[in-house]
A and B are shown apart, each in its own frame.
Chain A
């Protein structure tokens, strides 16, 4: 029983690698407290984006390479809220609320499309994501926004590449209920907020609809015989993933302090998917613990490898080692996925 919850070998390899890096970091006087603070920040930045992949994987719609669709809805929600003067924590919560309808609407269309390309969802999603980002590039230029902190400095119209959130709601969630334990800053508000999302997803998976969703992903024909409307349930999972991705983008921008428009969300899906696969998911059935472990491992690798390497090695080396380790683990996860499916 305990063995079930222990991470399998590939994750153990990463953990060992991280422990070595951590030892080196402390040896060269990078304070552990600052590393822990940075890890918390990275968790807040990425956690919801990674979790947003879960509904789609479990319903059998594949890894959500179309995550930019949700990201763009989140960006839209944020610029609209900022335009109408949203500020502070209310502004941040409003931006999520405003982006939900956009995410739900685009998720419905996207889900319908994914139902029609069954079997090739992942590649179709990749290109849908890319095209939505390009279409929105046009929108950002012509949209009639007028807030003087958001429009281009030269032209007098159109939205800037990056919009600073300092005057709006930068770190409003991060500062909520934040307290210090020694040198370590604990962002309790953010952790609670993400915790609520995780717990509600957990309880959702226990409901009838949640169980139908997992059944659809595990064995489609069996679920169909048992009266599950596969198309409908898959579409619902896509909407959920898209809405979560838009909320994740709002949380990201809030923590990072800038809204990044234009081509910024183009590759948003890849780090999230890498983290999920790194966490031990087979890409067919994901548990929340995979997502959380994945984010922690993936982000720790980033957090530790470069500062250590900049001092100890030729810096390019750490980048290369980090890429070899992560890419191999991801490849392993994908190979395992094919094996389970019976493709190999």
Chain B
């Protein structure tokens, strides 16, 4: 009998301690959150799935301590969609969270947004990007952003021409050309080249996704680029559609002094670090101004000033960062997301160069495809 009494006593004390601890932790929470009176949720893939978006969110967390709730999507989103949706919907339950930025590069996120909007119509959503039905997204999402992949078929040859190119070489391989975006972009490049008077040359490499391995493709590039440059001269722009190609193309550009107008994924972080042996210390790792300066110097040393170009900031870092700043400004009532001029001005502030916004479909006022102005090293 006594033992049972002791046990209930113990339970009561334990409950009391738990309650006190919980209350203390709540106040502690409030204290640390008091730096900003609202929070913004940011959703990104995991570090192993996509490094750049994750690091961008991490950097924002350091810049605005206490303001960021960083949610990480499951590694294999398409198989664990439900987990992802629950995670995003749970952000809506936190009354402090006034805006959510989703940088997923996946489809199937829209249900989560609909769910939150039902409960909290005031919640601001910015997507950078998600790939659901554009009409539906336009209805629920306050601002949707994505890179204008196909229109680059126009902007790249135009830039190459400006840089002095007379010939434009497009390196790709059969399984890549079969992808819709890449073949559409190639057709657009061909069209643009014909319009502005560039000689368009298409070269196929061994296919690293069917039969040959990657090394065979890269070795072919190593041999073929000098041949083509000998044939068409130095004023030739070389474009490769596959990420590993960029190391070789840029290394060869330093040697043979042809034009590299843009990589397949426009960022100073692709190709340049390996081809130029950039020395980037840990504390400089997110400092694009410094990285761009380093590339300019290396280009000058190799005598290729004005021959290499890309976007001055990685688009997968720019989009989440910009989305977050836009959402923050909208919560603080500093800008109106419907006013494209204000949005453009903010984008220019963050990128450091002009950003072009094109509506996804004619008449859409909250879904834009962007192209960032280039830096020529």
Q: Are A and B genuine complex partners?
A: yes
Binding site for B on A (CB under 8 A): 30, 34, 38, 41-42, 45, 148-149, 151-157, 160-164, 166-167, 256-258, 260, 264, 267-268, 270-271, 302-303, 306-307, 310, 315-316, 319, 323
State whether A155 touches B213 (Cβ < 8 A).
no
Other-chain residue from B204, B211, B278, B282 in contact with A156 (beta carbon distance below 8 A): B282
Closest to A302 in B: B216
Q: List residues of chain B with CB within 8 A of the CB of A156.
A: 281-283, 285
Other-chain residue from B174, B213, B276 in contact with A316 (beta carbon distance below 8 A): B174
With contacts A166-B251, A307-B227 taken as known, whether A151 is within 8 angstroms of B278 at the C-beta atoms is no
State whether A164 touches B55 (Cβ < 8 A).
no
Closest to B211 in A: A323
Among the interface residues A34, A151, A303, A306, which one has the most CB atoms of the partner chain B within 10 A? A306
Q: List residues of chain B with CB within 8 A of the CB of A271.
A: 213, 215-216
Show 13 A/B contacts (Cβ-Cβ < 8 Å), sorted by A.
Answer: A45-B219, A154-B51, A157-B282, A161-B274, A164-B247, A267-B214, A302-B206, A306-B224, A307-B223, A307-B227, A310-B204, A315-B203, A319-B211
A306 CB, nearest partner CB in chain B, Å: 6
Other-chain residue from A149, A270, A303, A315 in contact with B204 (beta carbon distance below 8 A): A315
Q: List residues of chain A with CB within 8 A of the CB of B269.
A: 153-154
Q: List residues of chain B with CB within 8 A of the CB of A30.
A: 227
With contacts A153-B280, A154-B269, A155-B55 taken as known, whether A164 is within 8 angstroms of B275 at the C-beta atoms is yes
Q: List residues of chain A with CB within 8 A of the CB of B211.
A: 319, 323
State whether B275 touches A151 (Cβ < 8 A).
no
A55 CB, nearest partner CB in chain B, Å: 23
Q: List residues of chain B with CB within 8 A of the CB of A163.
A: 274
B279 at the interface (CB under 8 A from A): yes
Would you list which residues of chain B between 50 and 95 have a CB under 8 Å from chain A? Answer: 51-52, 55
Q: List residues of chain B with CB within 8 A of the CB of A154.
A: 51-52, 55, 269, 285-286
With contacts A148-B280, A149-B279 taken as known, whether A306 is within 8 angstroms of B205 at the C-beta atoms is yes
Among the interface residues A30, A157, A163, A164, which one has the most CB atoms of the partner chain B within 10 A? A164
Interface size class of B (residues with CB under 8 A): 35 or more
Other-chain residue from A161, A162, A257, A319 in contact with B174 (beta carbon distance below 8 A): A319
Binding site for A on B (CB under 8 A): 51-52, 55, 174, 203-207, 211-216, 218-220, 222-224, 226-227, 244, 247, 251, 269, 273-283, 285-286, 291
Other-chain residue from A38, A148, A260 in contact with B279 (beta carbon distance below 8 A): A148
Among the interface residues A154, A258, A310, which one has the most CB atoms of the partner chain B within 10 A? A154
With contacts A30-B227, A164-B251, A307-B224 taken as known, whether A319 is within 8 angstroms of B207 at the C-beta atoms is yes
Closest to B213 in A: A267
A239 CB, nearest partner CB in chain B, Å: 25
A68 CB, nearest partner CB in chain B, Å: 12
State whether A149 touches B278 (Cβ < 8 A).
yes
Q: List residues of chain B with CB within 8 A of the CB of A41.
A: 222-223
A156-B282, A164-B273 are known contacts; what are 20 more A-B pairs with Cβ within 8 Å?
A42-B219, A45-B219, A149-B278, A151-B280, A154-B269, A154-B286, A155-B51, A156-B281, A164-B275, A166-B251, A166-B275, A166-B276, A256-B215, A256-B219, A258-B247, A268-B213, A306-B204, A319-B206, A319-B211, A323-B211
Q: List residues of chain B with CB within 8 A of the CB of A45.
A: 219
B50 CB, nearest partner CB in chain A, Å: 11
> How far is A341 from B286 in the complex, measured between Cα atoms in Å?
61
Closest to A39 in B: B223
Q: List residues of chain A with CB within 8 A of the CB of B174.
A: 316, 319
> How far is A41 from B220 in the complex, measured between Cα atoms in Å?
12
Q: List residues of chain A with CB within 8 A of the CB of B224.
A: 306-307
> How far is A30 from B230 in the complex, measured between Cα atoms in Å?
10
> How far is A227 from B192 in the complex, measured between Cα atoms in Å?
75
With contacts A45-B219, A258-B247, A315-B204 taken as known, whether A162 is within 8 angstroms of B285 at the C-beta atoms is no
State whether B247 touches A310 (Cβ < 8 A).
no
> How far is A88 from B166 in the complex, measured between Cα atoms in Å?
38
State whether A164 touches B274 (Cβ < 8 A).
yes
> How far is A81 from B284 in the complex, measured between Cα atoms in Å?
25
Closest to B283 in A: A156
Other-chain residue from A153, A160, A256, A323 in contact with B285 (beta carbon distance below 8 A): A153
> How far is A325 from B120 in the complex, measured between Cα atoms in Å?
65
> How far is A172 from B221 in the complex, measured between Cα atoms in Å?
21
Closest to B224 in A: A307
Closest to A316 in B: B174
Q: List residues of chain B with CB within 8 A of the CB of A307.
A: 223-224, 227
Q: List residues of chain B with CB within 8 A of the CB of A264.
A: 214-215
Among the interface residues A153, A160, A315, which one has the most CB atoms of the partner chain B within 10 A? A153
State whether B215 touches A306 (Cβ < 8 A).
no
Among the interface residues B212, B216, B218, B291, which one has the most CB atoms of the partner chain A within 10 A? B212
